[in-house]
């Protein structure tokens, strides 16, 4: 079963707020990451 993770990108978000968690989640097996923005 694939795990889907959405990370919210919004005005004023700091790069480190996304980069760290993105790298950790990307290393998980059977995981799809989605950047969600408006």
When pLDDT is averaged across residues 11-37 and rounded to a whole number, the result is: 95
pLDDT at 38: 85
pLDDT at 28: 96
Q: How confident is the model at residue 6 (pLDDT cuts 50, 70, 90)?
A: very high
Tokens standing for 6? 């959405």
Residue 3 parent element (H or E):
strand 3-8
Task: For the full predicted model, state whether its pTM sits above 0.85.
Answer: no
Tokens standing for 30? 């059977």
When pLDDT is averaged across residues 4-29 and rounded to a whole number, the result is: 95
Contacts of 31 (CB under 8 A, 6+ apart): 2, 3, 4, 5, 25
């Amino acid at each position: 079963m694939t795990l889907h993770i959405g990370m919210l990108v919004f005005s004023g978000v700091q790069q480190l707020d996304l980069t760290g968690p993105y790298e950790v989640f990307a290393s998980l097996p059977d995981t799809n990451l989605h950047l969600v923005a408006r």
